Amino acid sequence: MDSQNRFTSTLQSLFRSSRFASTFALLTTLSAGILLGSVLTHSVAGKENDSADAKPLSVPSPVTLSNGFSQIVKQVGPAVVNINTESLPKESKVNPHTRRGQQNQPDQGDMQDFFNRFFGGQGGDGDDEDGAPGQERRALGSGFIVDPNGYIITNNHVVDKADKIYVKLSTDPDGGPGDYGRPARVIGVDKDTDIAVIKIDTKEPLPTVKLGNSDGAQVGDWVLAIGSPFGLSQTVSAGIVSAKNRSIDEPTPNGISQSQFQRFIQTDAAINPGNSGGPLVDMAGQVIGMNTAIYTQSMGSEGVGFAMPSNIIVNVYNMLIGPEHKVTRGSIGISFQSGISSAVGRMYGFSNGVIVSTVTPNGGAAKAGIQPGDVIVSVDGRKIKDGDDLVADISSRKVGSSVNLGFLRNGKQQSATVTIGDRAKTYAEITGNDGDDSASADDSDAGQNTLGISVAPVPAATQKKLGISGGVVITNVRAGSFADEINLGKGMIITEINKQPITDEASYRAIVKGLKSKGDVVFVVRDPRAAGNNYIGGTLP
């Protein structure tokens, strides 16, 4: 009885305790909430299952919009290709003949990324061969097919110095990692306009683009840029023609610009790395330009892109597919001052024309009596507006032809008949470079690019010891090159190539320059450490 009384008393004390009362109230509330939630959940679930009156959704039929962009892409897209290039490891060197020097310096200005640096292709690092020594370098670009036999137009900086070039069509299957497409070879390049023609072999006719007349493009016209930015093939961006006849390179002090023949269509269609070489298309589905460069401060598109006009492309292409596979331009052998002010014109009595700064000795103008200070005002009776107008007229003329120049000397009108010369030779003389040295540098590069070797004259003592006359000794073999693959080694002496004797470096360069892709090449070499001739050969890639 005492135990029962003590239990009852303890229980009453707990109920009187405020802490126990709060705990009990909380547990009661939670229990009620759980029960209520279960009832409500059961009620909601029941309503979700009650969907007998719901109608399933359906995908509507495709609707063709009226802007026409998609139709143009369907028409042009199959002829736009993705270009992959591979450059094998090269020996670090300084090349005095680089087209755009000092590309690796960060303070060259906003325009430093044009061509050789920004757009992929070999131009990913410009002419700088010092990066990533001992490693293969891969880069991307775009192009478009203009001939069903496999001829493709792209930028020179996309394929410049590339050891291997691959092209992938929009219809080619994706072979996975390591599948870069079909092998291609270079037909010809023109550095002055940054245009290159490459070719792939095909058994069936390929789709082609339709080239338009870029002179008909007007500022404000809609255009589409198609290419492979960042390797994303068949990417399309839209914009307008922002300006025409745009120059993006300043002339040198002697009045000659290295991009003298580059007058671009400016567009705000988004262009990014990898777009280089792709087409700029108008609303008629015609290619009016080739995307080449952008103006950027952020390494990305900022709405200012540049495309080489189609009319220039056609002219260059027709020369590159010719027998010599090169572009020949006319010259009269002068340099001139650009940007003449109206005050100078009034002082010297002319409103249009070009003031001659220098005259190349033995050039066409010099032989015709043209002197520094003369003002050329007409060509064959047509008035000349400025230096660009004069260059465009003269450069399009055939070497060896003649032209009548009207000019002012001390304010008096005179005329002279001038013979057109080869611009490549006269330009070398104006800039102070010997034409033969320039040609030798190009031929030397041909030996490096074609065979992958550097050579030097054979010392007279070595010739006497081996009983040979002439030849060239291999001083370097590039890893992975054609020469490396057929086991031509450093120190070997080449005495013949394809049964033609090698007497000196000049004969070596001449023979190498004539070698063709897919052709057999056989070398007769002597090893100074062994007796007799060795015959080493292979098929050029």
Q: Which of 142, 242, 276, 481 is catalytic?
A: 276
**197, 152 contact by CB (below 8 A):** yes
3-state secondary structure of 34: helix
Instruction: Please state, in angstroms and rounded to a whole number, the distance separating the CA atoms of residues 349 and 343.
Output: 10
Q: Which of 194, 268, 282, 374 is catalytic?
A: 194
What is the chain's Cα-based Rg?
A: 36
Looking at this protein, which amino acid is placed at residue 4?
Answer: Q
Is 42 considered catalytic here? no
Instruction: Please state, in angstroms and rounded to a whole number, the distance separating the CA atoms of residues 388 and 28.
Output: 95
Whole-angstrom CA distances from 150 to 185, 186, 280, 291, 498 are 11, 12, 20, 20, 29
Parallel, antiparallel, or unpaired for β 354-359 and 222-227? Answer: unpaired
Instruction: Please state, in angstroms and rounded to a whole number, the distance separating the CA atoms of residues 364 and 376.
Output: 14
Q: Which of 113, 142, 157, 190 is catalytic?
A: 157
Instruction: Please state, in angstroms and rounded to a whole number, the distance separating the CA atoms of residues 479 and 135.
Output: 10
Q: Residue 349 has what DSSP assignment?
A: T
Instruction: Please state, in angstroms and rounded to a whole number, the distance separating the CA atoms of residues 15 and 304.
Output: 83
Cα dihedral sign for 20, 21, 23, 27? positive
Q: Residue 352 has what DSSP assignment?
A: S
3-state secondary structure of 26: helix
**378, 406 contact by CB (below 8 A):** yes
Whole-angstrom CA distances from 236 to 143, 271, 473 are 14, 9, 51
Distance of CA 198 to the CA centre of its chain: 13
Instruction: Please state, in angstroms and rounded to a whole number, the distance separating the CA atoms of residues 154 and 166.
Output: 13
* H/E stretch holding 316: helix 310-320
**196, 156 contact by CB (below 8 A):** yes
- CA nearest to 263, candidates 247, 286, 282: 247
Is 194 considered catalytic here? yes
- CA nearest to 415, candidates 386, 366, 367, 381: 381
Instruction: Please state, in angstroms and rounded to a whole number, the distance separating the CA atoms of residues 87 and 158.
Output: 11
Catalytic residues, by residue number, are 157, 194, 276
